[in-house]
């Protein structure tokens, strides 16, 4: 129970799912933290979140850090269950505050006011699976849990 956060199945399922989420979200995190990929960087993103979207400062910081640190951690498979839970909160928050009012479908053809919740639901399904499955093969979690098992 002590190391439940690092426990993982020794399968490729967790590996493929965490790499998928990590690859999809790392550009978003890099946009918000460093201004890469056409992003605004930390200061301007915080300004947008707090002044325009009226998010509390702590929530705005959490959004940025989950996308940045969470995606890097998922790529490495470190703290997979913690970051999966963090992404569930992030995606649920985004869905209810920004996407649900726009319906279900993504805005593929620019005909809607904004994005629907389709992507959020898909990504939540992936991270819920990671919460259950763990980081899988090639993960820091696997190394930690294997090391702890050998100590016993």
pLDDT digits (tens, 9 = 90+) for 64-86: 999 999 999 999 999 999 999 99
For residue 10, give Cα distances in angstroms to 3, 26, 96: 16, 25, 34
Q: What is the residue-level pLDDT of the chain in tens, covering all 152 positions?
A: 456 778 888 899 999 999 999 999 999 999 999 999 999 999 999 999 999 999 999 999 999 999 999 999 999 999 999 999 999 999 999 999 888 888 888 888 888 788 888 999 999 999 999 999 999 999 999 998 887 655 55
Domain limits, the chain: 8-151
Of 86, 56, 55, residue with least CA distance to 69: 86
Per the structure block, which two tokens stand in for 60? 């705005």
Neighbours of 94 (CB within 10 A): 17
What pLDDT does residue 89 have? 96
């Amino acid at each position: 129970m002590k190391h439940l956060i690092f426990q993982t199945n020794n399968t490729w399922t967790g590996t493929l799912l965490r790499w998928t989420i990590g690859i999809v979200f790392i550009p978003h995190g890099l946009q918000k933290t460093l201004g890469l990929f056409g992003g605004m960087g930390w200061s301007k993103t915080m300004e947008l979140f707090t002044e325009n979207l009226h998010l509390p400062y702590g929530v705005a910081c959490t959004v940025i850090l989950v996308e940045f640190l969470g995606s890097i951690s998922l790529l490495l498979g470190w703290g997979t269950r913690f970051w999966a839970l963090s992404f569930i909160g992030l995606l649920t928050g985004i869905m209810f505050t920004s996407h649900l009012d726009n319906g279900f479908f993504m805005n593929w053809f620019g005909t809607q006011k904004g994005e629907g919740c389709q992507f959020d639901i898909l990504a939540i399904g992936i991270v819920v699976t990671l919460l259950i499955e763990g980081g899988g093969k090639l993960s820091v979690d696997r190394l930690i849990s294997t090391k702890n098992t050998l100590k016993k």
